[in-house]
Amino acid sequence: MPTTLAPAKVNLFLHVGEVQANGRHPLDSLVMFAGPEAADRVSVETADKLTLNVTGPRSAGLEIDERNLVLRAANALLEASGKMRGAALTLDKHLPVAAGIGGGSADAGATLRLLRDLWSLDADLVQQVAVPLGGDVPVALTRRTALMQGEGERVLVQEEMPTLPAVLVNPGVDCPTGAVFKAFDAAGAGAGFSELARIPRFETATTMIDWLESQRNDLEPVAIDLVPVIGKVLAAMSELPQARLARMSGSGATCFALFDTRDAADVAAEDIAATYPDWWVRATGLGDTA
């Protein structure tokens, strides 16, 4: 059964502009993807009709109708291809939901990749289908380190970037994207937005983290106001031994800490998991996911 990873997406920085007439926001964000330690899995089998089965430790409460982005992506691709096809999809859910790490988008991207191969579809058609599904879906389709711009539809892949040792932490509290952006708009934020022309090249994780310290996540302050435990997570992660940088990913509530070495990240993950056993904690390497 063909199976592919749907890895967590981490916004290493996230610059957000003012809300536009269509209700969306211009974005400028450098994203990397986690390894298999922080990923869902999507599988597919040939079938007469389109179906979805959801399994895994984070499957409870997930819809298996058109509200699920996996089925929405599959149906959108089916419609765009103009042919009657079927597939039996299985989503093995491990990532927390409404967590700022693009879990649903990762699942949709994985679905599009699998169906592209199963149905022998043109890659350009699949890319076109990805764009209206959501701002994170086009980059999730690639699973490559990339600069996301526009409303997420402009994906500028960044070659030869170092892998960043990281710890991901989610406190188990939903942080709905819509509410965070609504609070961002109410605060009148985003007026100074501008896109970065390019990302520097880095030889090591250490030099890349040095540069990332000068960046920010524009949604972090309003997310902390809405979900105060995010501030607690960031404080705890900042105190981890050898943590170089702690920041929220996306619209929250997942946060990440970056380290110079994977050994340091592994030790830090054990420490924070022991202190906060109810939190979701994963040590991983951020980069491209093959």
**pTM, entire model:** 0.95
Complete domains list, the chain, with CATH = 3-157 (3.30.230.10), 164-286 (3.30.70.890)
User: From CA 191, how far away is CA 232, in angstroms rounded?
Assistant: 28
pLDDT band at 83 (very low <50, low <70, confident <90, very high): confident
Residues 93, 99 contacting (CB under 8 angstroms): no
Instruction: Quote the DSSP letter at residue 90.
Output: E
Q: Is 100 annotated as a binding residue?
A: yes
Rounded to whole angstroms, the Cα distance separating 147 from 30 reads 4
| Contacting residues for 183 by C-beta, under 8 A, at least 6 apart | 222, 223, 225, 226
Token reading at 226 = 């809405």
Q: Is 102 annotated as a binding residue?
A: yes
Per-residue confidence at 98, pLDDT binned at 50, 70, 90?
confident
Would you say the C-alpha torsion 153, 13, 247, 266 has a positive or negative sign?
positive
Catalytic positions, written as ranges: 9, 136
Average pLDDT rounded to a whole number, residues 260-275: 98
To the question of whether residue 97 is assigned a binding role by annotation, the answer is yes
pLDDT tens, 24-44?
999 999 999 999 999 999 999
Structure confidence by residue, pLDDT tens digits, 219-259: 999 999 999 999 999 999 999 999 999 999 999 999 999 99
99 marked as part of a ligand binding site? yes
pLDDT for the residue 290: 66
